[in-house]
Amino acid sequence: MADESVEAPGRNRDKRENMDYRSKCAALKALVLDRELTFVMEAHNALSAKIAEECGFPAIWASGLSISASMGLADRNHASWTQVLDVSEFMADHVNVPILIDGDTGFGNYQNVIRLTRKLGQKGIAGLCLEDKVFPKLNSFLGESQALTPAEDFCSKLRAAKDAQLDGNFVVVARTEALVSGLGMNEALERAHKYLEAGADAILIHSKNSTSDEVVEFARLWESRCPLVVVPTKYYRTPASVFRSARISCVIWANQNLRSAISAMRRTSERIMRTESIMEVEDEIASLEEVFRLTGEMQAQEADRRYAT
């Protein structure tokens, strides 16, 4: 009879993966509910997710803008939801911290949200952020007065996501674009109330102002009814102490890894082009050893030692 106390390689694999997923969801839920301010870092592939994790970020934002940009695509749902999901799966496989995915509008109606949410659970993604714009979306910082979906329709998506989640601690963040679209504070608050009622675990109040005044005012009027998330891309001068005093739960740094990669790659390519040599850049770029380390080469060599015949 097999000795049940000895765990054969591969045995209980599914159980372990489920446990891992459970703990990622629990970790993300705890971060969102915690009264301490949490910083969530953008990533657009497994490598940037790994770097963000190693730098100490407790959660990753799988940014729609950054993922589509890294594919050379506009942030207009030109990347399909399965393509975004594939990238996020590589990220989830590569890091131990939870991932909150930017689910845009949910890629359709509540039907699409149900399928998306189930797939996120299967792929190890701990949270989903949905925004109340219409499909296909346009980045919040483009154009004026973008149309919003009726609040009732968006609530259907939120209810569908909460009902479809595979883990009790899966986090659904409802993002309102009411301020971005110029609809005003009352509309933003009314929508947030409805979204909370529909089951959202947190509200992302988005703003494209160059100061944090309107999100701080929203937070004051919201009176901590549920955790608040902000994305200070445009009000980047705001110090963290302002978010702490406003009792914001999470700050998402939404695109800085992508933008720094663009600048670094351009600098390196320009220098190599100009000097017709890689000598000048060699000491300033990541070593090959670092690439091997970040991509699990040591673990692959360990597998060779154990299993190669």
Site residue total, Mg ion (CB under 5 A): 3
CB–CB of 243/37 below 8 Å? yes
Task: Read off φ and ψ for residue 234, nearest 5 degrees.
Answer: -90, -30
Tokens of 114: 């149900």
| N-to-C CA span, the chain | 28
Q: How distant, in Å, are the alpha carbons of 16, 93, 226 from that of 307?
A: 22, 22, 51
Among Mg ion, ligand SPV, none, what binds residue 149 when CB lies within 5 to 8 Å by partner kind?
A: none
Query: In angstroms, what is the minimal distance from the CB of 304 to Mg ion?
Result: 41
Site residue total, ligand SPV (CB under 6 A): 11
Q: Is 20 assigned a catalytic role?
A: no
DSSP string, 95-111: -SS-EEEE-TT-SSSHH
Which one is catalytic: 14, 34, 75, 213? 75
Query: In angstroms, what is the minimal distance from the CB of 28 to ligand SPV?
Result: 17
Rounded to 10 degrees, what is the CA torsion of 69, 71, 76, 81? -130
CB–CB of 170/127 below 8 Å? yes
**Footprint (CB under 5 A) of Mg ion, residues 88-147:** 102
Greatest C-alpha distance within the chain:
70
Q: Which DSSP state fits 201?
A: S
Query: In angstroms, what is the minimal distance from the CB of 134 to ligand SPV?
Result: 15
- Binding track over 140-159 against ligand SPV, x by CB under 6 A: x-------------------
- Binding track over 93-112 against ligand SPV, x by CB under 6 A: ---------x----------
Select the span of 19-27, 49-57, 58-66, 242-250 touching ligand SPV (CB under 6 A): 58-66
**Footprint (CB under 6 A) of ligand SPV, residues 177-236:** 231, 233
For the chain, give percent helix, strand, coil, nearest 5.
50, 10, 40
Query: Among residues 34, 106, 92, 30, which one has the least CA distance to residue 61?
Result: 92
Amino acid code (one letter) for 288: L
Selected from 64, 106, 124, 232, the binder of Mg ion by CB under 5 A is 64
Q: Which is nearer to Mg ion, 117 or 169 (CB)?
A: 117
Query: In angstroms, what is the minimal distance from the CB of 137 to Mg ion?
Result: 7
Is 255 one of the binding residues for ligand SPV (CB under 6 A)?
yes
Residues in contact with ligand SPV by the rule CB under 6 A:
63-66, 102, 139-140, 231, 233, 254-255
Residues taking part in catalysis: 75
